[in-house]
Amino acid sequence: MSDFAQTVKQQADIVKIVESYIRLRKAGAQNYSGLCPFHKEKSPSFSVHAVRQFYHCFGCQASGDVFSFVGKIENVSFPEAVRIVAQKCGIPLPKREFSSPEEAAESRLRTRLLELHEAATAFFEEQLRGPEGAVAREYLAGRGLTPEGIKTFRIGWAPDGFNALRDRLSPMADDETLRASGLFSSKEQGDGAMGHIYDKFRKRIMFPISGESGRVIAFTGRTLETGEKAGPKYFNSPETPLYSKSMVLFNLDKARTAIRQAEFALLVEGQMDCISVFLRGIHNVIATSGTAFTEQQVALLKRHTAQVLVNFDPDTAGANAAEKSIALLTEEGFNIKIVTLEGGLDPDRFIRERGVEAYTAALRAASRQADYLIARARQLFPGQSAEQKQKAMNYLLPHIRRMPERLARDQFAADAAQKLGITDSVLREELRQAALKRRDHIEVKAAALTEVERVLLRALAITDPENQEARRLAVQAIAEQTSWFEHLGTFQALQALAHRQAADPMDVVEDPAQRALFAEALLAETRPPQETEVSSAIQEIQERAIANRLRDLRALIAEAERRGDFTELALLTRQKLDLDRSLRELHNRRHGV
Ligand SMILES: [Zn+2]
């Protein structure tokens, strides 16, 4: 870890940083708990240790320090996580934190582009309010958008003409930077040089697209005109250093808190659907912007929930997009339901025409994924002929295989057989095989922790100089009498900790199951263990080791008696008596007799 990262880690409070993403409540003298952002759960198994500055989830075994948390939740590399934490703590970034001059230049460019997008957003908003924006205002009002809603989503208007935005932004940046923003076009000249730049978005309603931090990184422009000259109805910013279409979920910045609270996300297709639903009080809604879900978007969403309600347009394109999204979400272990709206309406029209109650009712009536897919299979391949049934089944098989859980696959296969009326034994067998296929998910289950192990783990984790003696005792015992400790479930962790030098204790235990046990011991403690506790624990371990050895000896003695081997018998008996005596002594010492 660099000096800078070290400094940031010392100054950052992991509790505050984690709280900027999820809700935590105090759960003990030194720890906080909340719902884990990395897996789906109903009761909190995610803990943050305020003193030792680590987090640990007893549900999914995720654990680590503040950088690992931010890296995981923001889906960024270590250096980027350090930067984010530094920024949250108001620690200025040193120039040398950029690993290369290119990286520093890229960071400068991104900052510039964010400023340009902010200025452009403000400009478009201004234009919408001005005389030129009258038609757009009328259109938006017609779609049920209030001035308040327009403000919330910062909707704007790109005026007619080629230079309006350029004239506004050109004092802020050179042509090269303006070009990189994706907000301008230019015609290549005869000599290959780039021509003058001009506004890319003209006579369009502008919907800003924000990154997860809420800052505008791109736009979607919607034309109000029809006909050849108008161009495509919707028109997006191109890929830029700020914006990559496949990496962004529209409205996630506004929806993420609500998604965590509701424990599910409502996924719609278009931005207008999303805005319309959001403004009527359903805040956990996001949109894919008219494309099928990408893997990156799924990863992005997974950090917030594992439950999705899909409400795409009921037309063919919408149904196909829904199906692709379902496939991707299923593979990632999402729990999916599908909303089908009556009358073939899209969410925007439905909620405007029938109201939010009717829409909420439709959400509640969402079909399970299996039911939806079976219904769709029957719709695509109607009729009772063997051929149609085979086709319907072939359509369903990949969906069944994709489901991560065996039970769900079995259920799906049984439902499919029943609803498609499949009686043929060969087809039934195919369904059964599909249900069998996918590998079972292996859970890392933590074994129970004994009191002795708790004391030892905590002693070995001592970092303050005052309590070093307690730590030294444990280290010495483990180094010198390794065999006493071998039968303990946490032996691996104990050894790793006994051999750590100055390293952060949480970093040296690598095995997830072992780390879980270690975290459990630390999360339960209120103070570091005293020397007397440690030596008492070591004695208990020793007693147990002796007791084990005695058990072995008794078996060997019985065996020697049977064989009539008196030399061996005498030797073993002497050993046994010695051990009996030391066990007694140990026991008395420990209990103050
Ligand atoms: Zn978890």
Query: Does residue 184 have a pLDDT over 90?
Result: yes
Residue 40 CA to ligand 1 center (angstroms) comes to 7
Q: Measure 12 CA to ligand 1 centroid, in angstroms.
A: 22
Using the mean position of ligand 1's atoms as its centre, give its distance from the Cα of residue 63 in Å.
Answer: 9
User: For 403-425, what is the mean pLDDT?
Assistant: 83
The helix or strand, by DSSP H or E, that contains position 480, with its residue range, turns out to be: helix 468-480
C-alpha 36 to ligand 1 mean position (Å): 4
Side-chain half-sphere CA neighbours of 81 within 13 A: 23
Ligand 1 mean position, distance from CA 311 (Å): 28
Q: Find the 410 Cα to ligand 1 centroid distance in Å.
A: 26
Distance 47 CA to ligand 1 centre (A): 9
Distance 39 CA to ligand 1 centre (A): 5
Contact 541, 487 (CB under 8 A): no
Q: Is 102 exposed, middle or buried (0-12, 13-18, 19+ CB in 10 A)?
A: exposed
Pick the closest to residue 539 from 590, 491, 591, 488 (CA basis).
590
Q: How far is the CA of 59 from the centre of ligand 1 (A)?
A: 5
Residue among 469, 505, 470 nearest 490 (CA):
505
Residue 355 confidence (pLDDT): 94
Strand pairing category for 31-34 and 46-49: antiparallel
Distance CA 50, CA 24 (A): 12
DSSP per residue, 423-447 = --HHHHHHHHHHHHHSPPPPP-PPP
Coil/strand/helix, residue 577: helix
Residues 326-356: pLDDT tens digits? 888 887 778 899 998 988 888 999 999 999 9
| Distance in angstroms between the alpha carbons of the first and the last residue of the chain | 51
Check if the beta carbon of residue 13 is closer than 8 Å to that of residue 91. no
Instruction: Give distance in angstroms: CA of 441 to centre of ligand 1.
Output: 15
Express each pLDDT in 110-151 by its tens digit: 889 999 999 999 999 999 999 999 999 999 999 999 999 999
Q: How far is the CA of 333 from the centre of ligand 1 (A)?
A: 14
Q: Indicate whether 292 pLDDT > 80.
A: no
C-alpha to C-alpha distance for 132 and 20, rounded to whole angstroms: 41
Give the separation between CA 522 and CA 516, rounded to whole angstroms.
10
- pLDDT 10s digits, 358-375: 999 999 999 998 999 999
For 168, other C-beta atoms within 10 Å of its C-beta total 18
The Cα–Cα gap between 301 and 273 comes to 18
Tell me the percentage of the chain whose pLDDT exceeds 90.
33
pLDDT digits (tens, 9 = 90+) for 92-114: 877 655 667 777 788 788 889 99
Q: Tell me what the mean pLDDT of segment 69-82 comes to.
A: 86
**pLDDT band at 443; cut points 50, 70, 90:** very low
Contacts of 532 (CB under 8 A, 6+ apart): none
Q: How far is the CA of 562 from the centre of ligand 1 (A)?
A: 56
Q: Please, which residues have CB within 8 angstroms of residue 388's CB and are 6 or more apart in sequence?
A: 381, 382
Rounded distance, CA 362 to CA 311, Å? 10
Distance CA 463, CA 471 (A): 9
Q: How far is the CA of 297 from the centre of ligand 1 (A)?
A: 20
Distance 517 CA to ligand 1 centre (A): 15
Task: Return the pLDDT at 566.
Answer: 87
pTM of the model: 0.60
Among the ranges given (55-69, 415-429, 482-496), the one the predictor scored with the smallest mean pLDDT: 415-429
